[in-house]
Structure 1
Amino acid sequence: MSTPRFGLQARFLAGSAVVLLVVVAIVGLMLVRQAAAQREALRNSGEVLSQVFDQGVRERGTALANALADTLINPLYYSDLAAIGAAVRNTARQKSVSYVLVYDPDGRLIHDGSFDVAGYGQPMNDPLAKAAVRSRKPLVQESPSILEVDVPLAIGDQPLGGLRVGMNLAPVRAQEAKSMHALEQRMRETQRRELGWALGLMLLLLGFVCVMAFYVQYTLVRPIRWLGAAAQRIERGDYLIEAQATRRGDEVGELLRTFDRMSQSIARHDRDVRQMAYTDALTGLTNRLAFREALDHRLLRAQAAGRGLALLFIDIDEFKRVNDTLGHEAGDDALLQFAQHISSAVEQIGGDDALLARFGGDEFVILISQGQSSAAEIAKQLAERLVIDLGKPLHVQQREIFLGSSIGITLFPEDAGDATALLKNGDIAMYQAKLAGKNCFRYYSLAMDHAVERRLHLEQELRGAWERNELRLVYQPIFRTRDRMLCGVEVLLRWDHPALGAIPPSMFIDVAEQSGLIQIIGPKVLRAACEQAQQWPRNALGEELFISVNVSPKQLRNGDLLQEVESSLLGSGLAAARLHLELTETAVIGDEMLAVSLLEKLHRAGVKVWLDDFGTGFSGLSHLRQVPVDGVKIDRSFVADMERDPDDLALTTAIIAMAHALGITVVAEGVEQEAQFELLSQRGCDLVQGYWLGRPLEAAGLVSLLERGAMAAVR
């Protein structure tokens, strides 16, 4: 009996070979698929890592640039290089910031953060400069080593220049490459080990091929696919990845845990970036960017529901004085107290939907949504409460300070239909509250827009008016009552505009005060008046005329008044005793400590100081004992009614008597009738001025009057 040529063993071997080939083929296919999946996961992870790092740098650069841009608006507007440099250096010190450049509208460098600014005024010629200067909206540019965020700077439609913040990409690329290399190494190790496991199991036990296939699928393919899906979610910006609670101790488990830690780190970084971008660092309140996004969203909801909104724009009155006199730490303390008062009032009155934000500096904004009562009514109640609460004293550095607030209210849809217009209207209304005397609130109206436009036009025209010879000085004669002799003049400023004609001082002086131009014009007036007075002849008694120059409260507070006076006297050769400075009573009382220190220095220099508009302030005669002044000018409102109003006559008499008792000269202004002159003379008033005595004169007219030896009896 012949032995079968293809027996059971052969069949078994053949079957085993077939099974082995099938298993090998299956395992081979699985390994190929696994390698492809790993490559796909590696590629996706690389792309996600690159995008995450790039997005992080982009968002940080944008946040830094926007924050710095808000800080630079006022310093750039007033060409305050010191403040610009301080802000630029503060940002340039940030980690990963390569450079910070501030330039004017023509692309010339204003500041680069250095103390000498070697390239000041020079055009920027680097490859990214041209696009940055040409752009009229925020722009992000990228070179192989730098990611640059460009932000144009402007006030309204007036361009001020721009800001360039360069972020160094080298550390980012290095970290990205390191992370990618680590991930690639992990995947390669996993691939090698899993291949060894597969080959070993095939050699040891062929019968477990199917189990091995299931094992590979369960322990390797599924985690890798999960990693790929998670990486794609991160790529789409979804950083909330559920952690894989695995206890596996192999490379896949380590990879899963590593990926978990990486995704959590990315999520924390995203939260930190969002918090930096949307939260005010000092107060913890919503910042300008987040408020604007919320305002846009709520406007859409209000339009769809036909509901109203109210916007309150709050500005702290005289806040700059706190920073200037007590320092920025005290200013931050005051801001925190203000924020707490505002938050408390908003919680009690504004309702659950009210949103409070700090816009930067001393500006706060509140958004009121319509609830059970109208938004306008809630805004009114809240504004009334805030005027009272914010007018209360603050305790800062063991001192009690009074500031107050100016609040502007604008309504949707009555006043505007979009966020930009609402914010502009709130700012305008707040500005009108300041003009109304501060520590109050005002509603926006269309008339305010026209008033602001006219005021802005006047401010623009006033810039450079001195250089265009549109501003001129005139001189109001001042006479002694005892001998009716011309002994001095008050220097007055007049503006003759080529198109608008003669603009009243009451209009353009207020514009100069509010815009800060008075700090530029004031020193020029002082220097020109001193130079002119030095050329005048003596009066009929051989006396040299004194000149009385008005000084703005802003000039008093900026700390440069003493240097400006000394420079004007030195440059003109005018004797210090011939210069009288006129300060308003309210300006001196508003910052008495600073005023006393400055006036004492002026006294030592030989300059005399008068209090103008005396009697209209809140202090009365009691402050004359603390403030070292040489003279007071009785306000024209008391002089005008002396003949008819016994109270005005009694008050004028009391001022003269009290001032003389303290050794202070008394000047009366607004004398327009002889009877007023006689009443003042009888009561011992030292000096008088007014239209009855003489109208303001040009320099030539004043010289002619001196040469005639005119006295008060001759009009």
Structure 2
Amino acid sequence: MRLRVGLRAHFALLAAVVLLASLSLVLLVLQRQGAAHRDVQALSLESIHDFSSKRMLSQGEAAATQLADSLVNPLYYFDLDAIGSALLNVLRQPDVDYVLVYDNEGRVIHDGSQDISTYGQSMSDPFAYEVLSITDVHVQSNDALMDVSAPIRIGDQRLGGVRIGYSLAAMKADERQVGGFMSGRLGEIGRSQLLWIGLLLAGMVALLVAIGFVLQRALVSPVRQLADAAREIEAGNFEANVPTTRRNDEVGDLMRAFSHMRDSIVRHDRDIRRMAYTDALTGLSNRLAFRELLDQRVAEGNGSARQLALLFADIDDFKRVNDTIGHDAGDEVLMQFSSRIREVIDLHRGGGAELARFGGDEFVILLKGGDGEDIRERAERLADALVRELGRPIPVHGRQVFLGISIGIALFPDDATDVTVLMKNGDIAMYQAKVAGKNCYRFYSRVMDQAVERRVRMEQDLRGAWERGELSLAYQPVYRLESGKLVGAEALLRWRHPEHGPVSPSLFIDVAEQSGLIEVIGPQVLRAACMDARGWQRDFPSARELFVSVNVSARQLRTGDLAAQVETVLRETGLAAQHLHVELTETAVIGDEARVSSLLARLRNAGVKVWLDDFGTGFSGLSHLRRVPVDGVKIDRSFVADVLRDPDDLALTTAIIAMAHSLGIHVVAEGVEKEGQYAILRERGCDLAQGFWLGHPMTNQEFARLLA
């Protein structure tokens, strides 16, 4: 049996020998003790100074950045009270000497005081010159003061800046106090333990000299090799060479254990990287991995002729799948979409394309252009193929789901020279594809920035427009064709902007739909229309059987409880249910017919009439009448406009009327603008009609005069 001699026995034997020789070095250690104390004190004071300075610098930069962010809205709206409140909170912090908010010309807007004694004055201190041109957090200092400044921005517009001054007096006093304390303590320690420290140092030095050769071979060399391997592993080189040994002692055990640990770290790193950089649902790269890749590609492209195309894709109406079929179905849709996208990329020789799921229902594709290859044409071909392929129905849980995809395309370096702007522009282009009707693609252009800005401004102005009296209802009369009798009116929403005047409904209603404001405006329109209709019936005997029709958006059908809202409004206004007609478009029904049918059945059971608006313009108009309970359809104005000169439109219109009557459904014709159109629709048996020839949309007061 092989005898194992451990390191402890080696060290014990060598220590006994070395301790005998260590006495001769005591005097040398004593001599060096004083110098060591001085070095320790100097290094400690230097470290304390560095730590204090860095802490105050970090605190100042964080405070300036946070304060600048919090002052964007107050400064934009010039709310001095809110600015003063924010500055007062900062002035209460320790060591803060002053806080200033200034405009782009360097004039003081607020100094945190109640009377703002320096308001409007130009900053003239030594630090003022540099802060006027800063684009990020900026620090200046002298022996007594540290000045931290930060710009205040809203988007790309600079509104001004903020400055925070920190006094350094307290920090320097603390450093002097700590230095004095350390000097005294070191002196006490040196005096009280001088002899014992000297003996220990002498013994340690002698021991190290005596066993140095043994340690070098038995311990230092192996440990150094392990340390080198550890640094390689820390740097990410998991293939680093770990020394092997047959030694049967503690060092041998350590080296073998280190080798096993390296193998375990490699496995764990592989698993962690897979989880950190891979989307768990689709198996694609995730946002983090794609961002790192995009940073790398852009860095490689700078200074070269290589171009990149970023395709920012978003599934249309994906939320409807989660809301109606469930999140399991939504996950299945995402997996099918990712597979189809990859198939399309492969079919279009997209071997160099990078695909990632950005989160939710968003996917991104990065195309790298080759020498002499037009990256714009390549991106356009791929986007066109994706729109066609992803527009096909997806089978989910035994159902056919129609979704589609909207794609925004941004090019590097044509549209952006850095990653952040490139991604922002791709997102803007995708949003424009949504606005353009979805299931399409759009290239980014600088005009889009202006369009997005106008749309955002319109959304902001639209908020609260009803309460401010800017939104109102107009009523277009509806007549019975056979008798020419007035039977009702359609409520139409109008917006008179205080600066821009009348705004087209096609613009602001789409903004309200996309932003969700329609969920607030819709119930307000319903209530106002029912109140006006109840007023007609009360004031005019001839209007007791008039109905009012109100349009309902697809978003109102998907969110909230429309039936409960209608029942509440009818109960509060006193309007009979049969005098209210609810109009919804054919596209609002597609893809969610089961839920919509249940909702409409509840409305009809209560007595409310349901009309299908813009009939014939959807994907499969006639088929919906068999599955969705409605009382009538409104022939879209595009058919009515050409019934006098286009035989096809006349045939379609006649067919719609005949088909609807065979199902017991009434028909309303929209856009009747000529006497001939009125006559031919009456001849073909159309029930009701509305249009400019019969009556323009009018205010409630004008409609009341019409009734009178």
TM-score by length of 2: 0.67
Q: CA deviation at 1:498?
A: 0.6
Mean Cα deviation higher: 570-579 or 392-401: 392-401
Check the 8 A contact 1:315/1:407 in 2, yes or no.
yes
The answer to whether the 8 Å contact 1:345/1:382 transfers is yes
Cα shift readout 1:578-618 (whole Å, capped 9, x = no counterpart):
11111112322343223222221221121110011112223
How much has 1:504 moved relative to structure 2? 0.9
Aligned 8 A contact 1:537 1:703 in 2 = no
Residue equivalent to 2:82: none
**TM-superposed deviation, 1:682:** 2.8
1:424-439 to structure 2, matched below 5 A, reads 424-439=424-439
- Residue pair 2:229, 2:241 contacting (<8 A) in 1 also: no
Tell me: CA distance 1:27–1:456, structure 2 relative to 1, closer, same or farther (3 Å).
farther
Secondary structure class of the residue paired with 2:535: coil
- Matched with 2:588 is 587
SS across alignment from 2:696:
coil
Once the 2 structures are TM-superposed, how far is the Cα of residue 472 of structure 1 from its aligned partner? 0.9
Query: Is 2:571 aligned against 1:570?
Result: yes
Correspondence for 2:662: 661
Q: Aligned partner of 1:543: which letter?
A: R
Deviation at 1:470, TM superposition (A): 1.2
Do the aligned residues in 2 keep the contact of 1:27 with 1:213 (CA within 8 Å)?
A: no
**Alpha-carbon separation, structure 2, partners of 1:435 and 1:542:** 40
Percent sequence identity is 61
1:356 correspondence with 2:355: yes
What corresponds to 2:647 in structure 1?
646
1:537 Cα deviation after fit: 2.8
Output the CA distance in 1 between the equivalents of 2:339 and 2:640: 47
Which deviates the most, 362-371 or 347-356? 347-356
Q: Are 2:313 and 1:317 equivalent residues in the alignment? A: no
CA-CA distance at 1:267 after TM superposition: 5.8
Bigger CA drift: 576-585 or 275-284? 275-284
Task: Give the equivalent residue in structure 2 for 1:673.
Answer: 674
In the TM superposition, what is the alpha-carbon distance from 1:273 to its structure 2 partner?
A: 5.0
In structure 1, C-alpha distance between the alignment counterparts of 2:312 and 2:264, rounded to whole Å:
38
Q: CA RMSD in A?
A: 3.9
Query: Are residue 618 (structure 1) and residue 619 (structure 2) matched?
Result: yes
1:254-292 superposed Cα distances (whole Å, 9 cap, x missing partner): 444455555666666655554444332222222222222
Counterpart Cα distance in 1 of 2:613 and 2:358? 37
**SS of residue in 1 equivalent to 2:583:** strand
What do residues 232-270 of structure 1 show as CA deviations (whole Å, max 9, x unaligned)? 666767666544434444333344445555566666665
Q: In the alignment, which residue of structure 1 is the partner of 2:289? A: 290
- Please state whether the residue corresponding to 2:590 is helix, strand or coil: helix
Contact (CA 8 Å) 1:666, 1:686: kept in 2 or not? yes
Alpha-carbon distance in structure 2 between the residues aligned to 1:649 and 1:354:
50
Q: Map 1:182-581; keep pairs closer than 5 Å.
A: 214-229=213-228, 242-260=241-259, 273-349=272-348, 351-372=350-371, 373-537=373-537, 541=542, 543-581=544-582
- Decide whether the 8 Å contact of 2:402 with 2:591 is kept in 1: no
Q: Distance in 2 between matches of 1:568 and 1:541?
A: 23
Aligned pair in 2 of structure 1 residues 388, 537: CA closer, same or farther (>3 Å)? closer
Select between 605-614 and 693-702 the one with higher mean Cα deviation: 693-702
Q: Kindly tell me: are residues 634 and 255 of structure 1, through their superposed partners in 2, closer, same or farther at Cα, counting changes over 3 Å?
A: same
Once the two structures are superposed, what CA deviation does each residue of 1:24-70 show, in whole Å capped at 9, x if it has no partner?
A: 649999xxxxxxxxxxxxxxxxxxxxxxxxxxxxxxxxxxxxxxxxx
Indicate the larger mover: 487-496 or 466-475. 466-475
CA contact (8 A) 2:586 2:621 kept: no
Paired residues of 1:523 and 1:564 also in contact (CA < 8 A) = yes
Q: Are the aligned partners of 1:489 and 1:547 in contact in 2 as well (CA < 8 Å)?
A: yes
5 Å matches for 1:129-168?
A: none
Whichever residue aligns with residue 435 of structure 2, its letter is: L
The code of the aligned residue for 2:473 comes to L
Q: Map Cα deviations across residues 319-341 of structure 1 (whole Å, 9 max, x no partner).
A: 22221122111111111121122
User: Is the contact made by 1:310 and 1:412 (CA closer than 8 Å) also made in structure 2?
Assistant: yes
The structural deviation recorded for 1:516 is 2.3
> Which residue number corresponds to residue 698 of structure 2?
697
Greater mean alpha carbon deviation, residues 235-244 or residues 554-563: 235-244
Q: CA deviation at 1:502?
A: 0.7
Deviations along 1:328-384, whole A, 9 cap, x unmatched? Answer: 111111111211222233344354432111111111111111125332232223223
- The more displaced of 413-422 and 396-405 is 396-405
Structure 1 695/395 Cα, relative in aligned 2: closer, same or farther at 3 Å?
Answer: closer
In structure 2, how many angstroms separate the alpha carbons of the residues matched to 1:685 and 1:551? 24
Q: Does the Cα contact within 8 Å between 1:392 and 1:404 map onto a contact in 2? A: yes
Aligned to 1:627: 628
Structure 1 window deviating more from structure 2 (356-365 vs 478-487): it is 478-487
User: d(CA) in 2 for partners of 1:654 and 1:380?
Assistant: 40
Residue 293 of structure 1 aligns to a residue whose secondary structure is helix
Can you list the C-alpha shifts for 1:499-548, whole angstroms capped at 9, x where unaligned?
11110111111111222222221122112222332222365546332110
Counterpart CA distance in 2 for 1:686 and 1:541 is 20
Q: Is the 8 A contact 2:487 2:547 kept in 1?
A: yes
Return closer, same or farther for 1:565/1:240 CA change in 2, 3 Å cut-off. Answer: farther
CA distance in structure 2 between the partners assigned to 1:237 and 1:289 by the alignment: 18
**Contact 1:409 1:430 (8 Å CA) reproduced:** yes
Residue identity opposite 1:253 in structure 2: G
Structure 1 residue 216: deviation in Å?
A: 3.9
Q: Is the 8 A contact 2:229 2:242 kept in 1?
A: no
Q: Please give the secondary structure, in 2, of the residue aligned with 1:410.
A: strand
In structure 2, the residue matched to 1:599 is 600
The one-letter amino acid paired with 1:382 is L
Structure 1 CA distance for aligned equivalents of residues 615 and 651 of structure 2: 15
Please state how far the C-alpha of 1:21 moved relative to its aligned partner: 6.2
- State the AA in 1 paired with 2:652: L
| Shift in alpha-carbon separation, 1:690–1:389, aligned structure 2, 3 A | closer
Q: Which amino acid aligns with 1:531?
A: M
Aligned length: 532
Change over 3 Å in CA distance of 1:644–1:342 after alignment to 2: closer
Provide the residue aligned with 1:70 in structure 2: none
Q: 1:457 to 1:661 in 2, by over 3 A?
A: same
Q: Counterparts of 1:700 and 1:653 in 2: how far apart (Å)?
A: 36
Contact 2:542 2:707 in 1 (8 A): no
Deviation at 1:229, TM superposition (A): 4.6
Helix, strand or coil: the match of 2:407?
strand
Runs of 5+ consecutive residues of structure 1 not aligned to the other structure: 1-19, 30-103, 108-122, 131-135, 138-153, 159-201, 203-208, 708-715
SS of match in other structure, 2:653: helix
1-structure distance, mates of 2:23, 2:547: 108
How far apart in 2 are the matches of 1:268 and 1:532?
73
| Distance in 2 separating the partners of 1:27 and 1:355 | 71
Q: Deviations over 1:132-166 (max 9, x none)?
A: xxxx99xxxxxxxxxxxxxxxx99789xxxxxxxx
Q: Distance in 1 between matches of 2:352 and 2:501?
A: 52
Looking at structure 1, the residues matched to 212 and 645 of structure 2 have their Cα atoms a distance apart, in angstroms, of: 114
Conserved? CA contact 1:540–1:706, under 8 Å = no
Gaps of 5+ in 2: 1-15, 26-68, 73-85, 94-134, 137-152, 158-206
User: 2 CA distance for matches of 1:705 and 1:650?
Assistant: 35
Alignment partner, residue 636 of structure 1: 637
Displacement of 1:628 in angstroms is: 1.2
Give 3-state SS (helix, strand or coil) of 1:475's partner: strand
The whole-number CA distance in structure 2 between the counterparts of 1:592 and 1:445 is 38
Distance 1:690 1:402, change over 3 A: closer
Give the drift of 1:685.
2.0
8 Å contact from structure 2 (residues 480, 486) kept in 1: yes
The residue that corresponds to 2:168 in the other structure is none
